[in-house]
């Protein structure tokens, strides 16, 4: 078992992104309805947020609801939205005392009004906090985000506020939901699925991927430490060769 002391404090990723998957299977395994798994998943969120605060991670982005998740049975979608509202309401005061800043990415307008209101309140309350940035990806998908950015840029060009030649990667990033947020160094997916499911497509260009068979409701601080340890023992070459990295 890897202990926290074995982590290199100078190499803690500043941004960790997680695809929290496996709630439904966890519930099934325990003979319960899918929604029970989602409730249990909130406990994992709590312990991971706490661990990230402790370890000094600056940004934690959690995939909580994808654009594609709207296609789930209506009852499940409603239950997830209700859980979101209740969780935000219940957890925000504590998160606020821990100096956590709550943020969101995704198509916010598509959420029910109760969610929008609750989220706005939580975001406003924690706006000035300087600790962990807890970013919830809600009604989010990478393709939606990229297409949306392209549309915004096209509008600017059409209105002659932007020259086509000024469009490069740096400018494009300014139109993404994650503007001002560094790319995740580490992207974790639970539940043994090996796919990206439309998550942070642009931002994960050079992320290190960590897949674990653990179902999200069983994921905890120890699992996070394991993932960070694994990450710290990789060589990130960014297209270069090993020898160049030593010279720098
Ligand atoms: C992830 O767990 C939570 C959401 C997508 C909201 P799932 O609900 O996808 O669980 P599985 O994959 O069916 O086990
Ligand atoms: C991805 O999980 C989305 C979230 C974790 C919110 P899914 O369970 O929806 O992914 P797929 O559809 O199986 O790839
Ligand atoms: Mg799933």
Q: What is the pLDDT of residues 93-147, one digit of tens each?
A: 999 999 999 999 999 999 999 999 999 999 999 999 999 999 999 999 999 999 9
Whether the pLDDT of residue 21 is over 80: the answer is yes
Q: Does residue 67 form part of some domain?
A: yes
Q: What pLDDT was estimated at residue 191?
A: 98
Torsion on CA atoms 51, 53, 54, 59, rounded to nearest 10:
80
Crossing angle for the helix pair 34-55 and 74-97, to the nearest 10 degrees:
30
Domain-located, residue 155: no
Ligand 1 atom nearest 38 alpha carbon? 3
Q: What is the pTM of this model?
A: 0.98
Q: If phi over 0 gives left and psi between -120 and 50 gives alpha, with beta otherwise, what is residue 160?
A: left
DSSP state, residue 92: H
**Which residues 6+ apart lie within 8 Å of 82 measured at CB?**
none
**Residue listed under structure tokens 């409730």:** 39
Q: What pLDDT shows up at residue 248?
A: 58
Residue 215: pLDDT over 90: yes
- Does any domain span residue 109? yes
- The three-state secondary structure class of 210 is strand
Owning domain of residue 109: 10-141+184-231
- Alpha carbon distance 17, 29 (integer Å): 26
The mean pLDDT value of the chain amounts to 98
Residue nearest to atom 12 of ligand 2 (CA): 197
Helix (H, G, I), strand (E, B) or coil at 46: helix
24 lines ligand 1 (CB under 6 A): yes
Pocket probe for ligand 2: among 197, 201, 212, 216, the residue whose CB has the most ligand atoms within 8 Å is 197
Active site residues: 21, 69
Number of Cβ within 10 Å of residue 240's Cβ equals: 11
For the chain, how many residues are written? 248
Domain for residue 191, yes or no?
A: yes
In this prediction, what percent of the chain has a pLDDT beyond 70?
Answer: 99
Residue 19 domain-assigned (yes or no): yes
In a domain, 62, yes or no: yes
List pLDDT tens digits, range 216-225. Answer: 999 999 999 9
Which of the listed residues 27, 62, 66, 219 should we mutate to test ligand 2's pocket, taking the one with most ligand atoms within 8 A of CB?
66
Percent of the chain with pLDDT over 90: 99
pLDDT in tens, 61-97: 999 999 999 999 999 999 999 999 999 999 999 999 9
Q: Residues with beta carbon inside 6 Å of ligand 2?
A: 19-21, 63-66, 68-69, 193, 195, 197
Angle (nearest 5°) at CA 161 between 158 and 166: 95
The answer, yes or no, to whether residue 236 has pLDDT greater than 90, is yes
How sure is the predictor about 33, in pLDDT bands with cuts at 50, 70 and 90? very high
CA angle 172/174/178 to nearest 5° reads 110
How far does the centroid of ligand 2 lie from the alpha carbon of residue 20, in Å?
A: 8
Please state the domain count of the chain: 1
Question: Is the pLDDT reported for residue 4 higher than 90?
Answer: yes
In a domain, 178, yes or no: no
CA atoms within 13 A on the CB side of 52: 29
- Which pLDDT score is estimated for 246? 79
Mean per-residue pLDDT, 26-52: 98
| Dist. CA 163–CA 157, nearest whole Å | 6
- We report the CATH number of the domain holding residue 19 as 3.40.1180.10
Q: Is 104 in the pocket of ligand 1 (CB under 6 A)?
A: no
Which ligand is nearest to the Cα of residue 24, counting in written order? 1
pLDDT digit string, tens, across residues 173-193 = 999 999 999 999 999 999 999
């Amino acid at each position: 078992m890897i202990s926290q002391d074995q982590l290199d404090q100078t190499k803690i990723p500043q941004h960790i992104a997680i695809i929290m998957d496996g709630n439904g299977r966890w519930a099934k395994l325990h003979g319960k309805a899918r929604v029970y798994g989602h409730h249990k998943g909130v406990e994992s969120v709590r312990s991971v947020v706490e661990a990230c605060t402790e370890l000094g991670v600056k940004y934690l982005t959690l995939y909580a609801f994808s654009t594609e998740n709207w296609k789930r049975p209506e009852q499940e979608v409603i239950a997830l939205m209700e859980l979101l509202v209740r969780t935000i309401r219940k957890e925000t005061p504590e998160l606020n005392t821990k100096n956590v800043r709550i943020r969101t990415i995704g198509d916010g307008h598509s959420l029910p009004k109760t969610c929008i209101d609750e989220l706005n309140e939580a975001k406003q309350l924690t706006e000035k906090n300087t600790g962990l940035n807890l970013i919830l990806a809600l009604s989010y998908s990478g393709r939606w985000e990229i297409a949306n950015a392209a549309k915004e840029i096209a509008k600017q060009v059409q209105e002659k506020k932007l020259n086509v030649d000024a469009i490069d990667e740096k400018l494009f990033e300014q139109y993404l939901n994650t503007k001002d947020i560094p790319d995740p160094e580490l992207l974790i997916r639970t539940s043994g699925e090996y796919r990206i499911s439309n998550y942070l497509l642009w931002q994960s260009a050079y992320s290190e991927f960590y897949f674990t068979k653990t179902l999200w409701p069983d994921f905890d601080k120890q699992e996070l430490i394991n993932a960070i340890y694994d990450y710290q023992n990789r060589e990130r070459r960014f297209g270069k060769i090993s020898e160049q990295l030593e010279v720098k």
